[in-house]
Amino acid sequence: MNEKRRSKRLPIDLKIVIVSLKKQGEGETKPMAVPIEVSNISKGGLGFEGETELHIHDCFSAALNIGGIKTINAVLRIIRKEMKGGSWYYGCEILGHPSVYDYVFDEYEKAVSTVETV
């Protein structure tokens, strides 16, 4: 998948469950239980894998624990998807991300950089 992020992509090992999903063009939010594995994150979005096919422009809420620094409740919108080895790989943008949380990503980037250089 081509890099399209404005912020640095950082590796992360985060497992979350999508419990509701709003499909593009539909007024209702549908309950579901879709486990996903987040593999990377940035100030603007994240990448994740899952076995369930979701659709571009679908939106969902998630509690993102960024490296144990802080949990951010975010609304995410799927902007890319690709099938890789039997799983779906998705790119999402974080909607309405307040810049007050930028420090969380900055601290996480420092923590990741420290681990990579050790």
Task: Report the CATH number of the 10-117 domain.
Answer: 2.40.10.220
Contact (Cβ atoms closer than 8 angstroms) between residue 67 and residue 111:
yes
What's the pTM value of the predicted model, to 2 decimals? 0.82
Number of helices (H), then strands (E), belonging to the chain: the values are 1, 6
> Computed over its alpha carbons, how large is the radius of gyration of the chain?
14
Query: For residues 10 and 41, is the Cβ–Cβ distance under 8 A?
Result: yes
What residues does each domain of the chain span?
Answer: 10-117
pLDDT tens by residue, the chain, 118 residues: 555 557 888 999 888 888 777 876 666 777 777 888 999 999 899 999 999 899 999 998 888 889 888 888 888 999 999 999 999 999 999 997 778 888 899 999 999 888 665 5
